[in-house]
Amino acid sequence: MSHARPSYQAIRIRVAEISVDQSRKALRTGPDRSLRQVQRVIESEIRRLPRDERGPLACAAGCDFCCHLRVMVNPVEVFALIDFLHEALSREDWEDFCASVAQANQQLRALPADQVLTTNIPCPVLESGRCRGYSARPLNCRSYHSLSREACEASFNDPGNLDLGHPQLTALAQVHAGGQGGFVAALNEAGFDSRQYELVSALAEALDDPEARNRFGDREQAFLREPLVES
């Protein structure tokens, strides 16, 4: 007997409901716990998808075209990534990471506003084509996927052409969207800053200004510098 597949909208709604419920509960022990919980929800919901709705993907270790684009993140993801890297990296590598953040931030801030989204600049978390913070990478990094390496390469080689895209799996995208939506709703409900900030500029401000973390904990706006990308 064949079972009808749920609609993409139904997938998104189901995951959002699970995500908001579990994020809410985990928030009682802190936003970082809640983030880890929503990551688990997303991974588990991806495993529930039929095989052909979750792969095979063209994404592979060492392929880093998408890590030259701007990524939007929530403050809790910024602090989680910093904490992970501070723990995982040697002192020398940590200093190298901090210097890379400052340099990438300067490069981005020097660009005319209309080129911020259309200029390839390597993410400072990257090293030799690999993400140094892979297990703590932001939700938008996790959701970004492609069925065609060639399409990603073409887009990388022509970053100003926003008409170029890459093929994705709709069900997979819906799981991520539902998971993120539920998490943001739970953060909002609890009064935490759930704005989306551009990753490099947020990392730079978090590293320069320890008060950013305190502001987030006090349920205030975490990052105060002029936004690099409007969310």
**Site map 125..164 versus ligand SF4, x via CB under 6 A:** xx----x-x---xx--x-----------------------
Name which of 57 and 131 has its Cβ closer to ligand SF4.
Answer: 131
Q: Does 11 contact ligand SF4 by CB under 6 A?
A: no
How many C-alpha atoms does 144 have within 13 Å on its Cβ side?
Answer: 21
Alpha carbons 92 and 219: distance in angstroms, whole number? 33
Q: What's the token pair of residue 25?
A: 């509960």
The smaller minimum CB distance to ligand SF4, of residues 22 and 79, is found at: 79
Least separation in angstroms between residue 130's CB and ligand SF4 is: 8
User: How far apart are CB 104 and ligand SF4 at their closest, in Å?
Assistant: 10
202 within 8 A of 223, measured Cβ to Cβ: yes
| Closest approach of ligand SF4 to the CB of residue 127, in Å | 8
CB 132 within 8 A of CB 89: yes
- Nearer residue to ligand SF4 within complex by CB, 125 or 177: 125
Q: Where are the alpha helices (DSSP H) in 49-162?
A: 75-88, 91-110, 139-143, 149-157
Residues 70-129 that bind ligand SF4 (CB under 6 A): 71, 123, 125-126
Under DSSP, is residue 190 helix (H, G, I), strand (E, B) or coil? coil
Fill in the DSSP letter of residue 7: P
Can you give the binding site for ligand SF4, defined by CB under 6 A?
67, 71, 123, 125-126, 131, 133, 137-138, 141
